[in-house]
Amino acid sequence: MQFGIFTVGDVTTDPTTGRTPTEHERIKATVAIAKKAEDVGLDVFATGEHHNPPFIASAPTTTLAYIGAQTERIILSTATTLITTTDPVLIAENYAKLQHLTDGRVDLMMGRGNTGPVYPWFGKDIRDGIALAVENYALLHRLWREDVVDWQGRLRTPLQGFTSTPRPLDGVPPFVWHGSIRSPEIAEQAAYYGDGFFHNNIFWPMSHTKQMVGLYRRRFEHYGHGPADTAIVGLGGQVFMRPNSQDAIREFRPYFDVAPVYGHGPSLEEFMDQTPLTVGSPQQVIDRYAAMRDHVGHYQRQLFLMDHAGLPLDIVLEQIEILGTEVVPVLRREMAIGRPEHIPDAPTHASLVAAAGGARDATVHADDDVTGRTAENVAATENAEAAR
């Protein structure tokens, strides 16, 4: 099972000091957080995608490529790639390039986002939200698997004889998760393709999460991808920890009470009761998250939101240290107990390549007026070199 962290990249005032970080500081903090996650042994770092204040999470592939150059092991992912408003050709090219730059340490999570105004900013209509998610992903799926694509849909200009470059590393596309909080159509989409389903349930009760994951599992089996309990599931969550639970609550309460995403609604205690937010000791976090499988079955990925509500970077890094050294090692052992052998591990590039029968060079050599290269003369050159 994979454990990691995700960020939404919000620029939020620290209510205990009144200080608001600059965009530059938050961007640099994102890199520091990802590197810390790798240092403490976590498996995944994911960034969201937003195109409006108060967020700095635009251009996710730029951020992930920069992090990839400074890390060696951690998987780089997205907490949302806006499949509705980002052209699928651009997604195909950008994430395949990121695959090559990071030697396959990439997957991504498709999502519609939760900012309504983003649709007209990119020339789209929010009333087409589900249709855009379905049509754009259908095209993206083909762009990564077919060398030459002819395509026509309802919401985008047609493609004729189009080849997306670079081709996926080793001939294997990045693994795709479909993220949704409330849309059964997205759970259905994930099941149809046999992709992963990520329920980022940070604001929702477990009863709703159980319902959405259950739908995905049933439909995964319906489409012939395997038994329902082998479907690939991920969950979100958020925690704040101190050795003493009372100290954790006392320290986090000022952040919770005025945070744009939390404050001015249910109390901290009510929110903890109704959602995965856990503020307490490391053992309380272990107990809470080890019990998630009782609701959704054995699953493959657990991501935590750590840099939220205006928490300063030094505290966030301290929290990641606790997560990686005190919590996750125990959760790994707990989650392995009673896990049936047929339950798959979280997909990685290496496992996907093995499932495909091994790596292959997927480079497409086409007629080119600039270089003069053609498929025929490339093959002739390769044959001549092999004969030497």
How confident is the model at residue 180, as a pLDDT? Answer: 87
pLDDT of residue 378: 54
The residues, any chain, with a CB within 8 Å of residue 34's CB and separated by 6 or more, are 45, 67, 71, 74, 76
Residues of the chain with pLDDT under 70: 114, 263, 367-388
Structure tokens that stand for 367 in this block? 């007629």
* Cβ contact 268:251 at 8 Å: no
pLDDT of 382? 60
Q: Can you give the pLDDT at residue 366?
A: 73
- Tens digit of pLDDT for each residue in 143-152? 999 999 999 9
Please give the pLDDT value at position 267: 94
Question: What is the per-residue pLDDT for 116?
Answer: 74
Distance between start and end Cα atoms, the chain: 47
Beta bridge partners of 155: none
Residue carrying structure tokens 């272990």: 286
Angle at CA of residue 106, ends 103 and 107, nearest 5°: 150
What is residue 327's three-state secondary structure? helix
Indicate the SS3 state at residue 245: helix
Measure Cα distances from 40 to 33, 48, 53 in Å: 11, 22, 31
- CB 85 within 8 Å of CB 132: yes
Helix intervals (H) in the chain: 23-39, 60-68, 88-101, 118-121, 129-143, 184-193, 206-222, 245-258, 268-274, 282-290, 293-296, 313-322, 328-336, 349-355, 375-387
Question: How many Cβ atoms sit within 10 Å of the Cβ of residue 325?
Answer: 12
Name the pTM for this structure: 0.92
Class for domain 2-357, per CATH? alpha beta
For 211, phi then psi, to 5°, come to -65, -45
pLDDT for res 372: 45
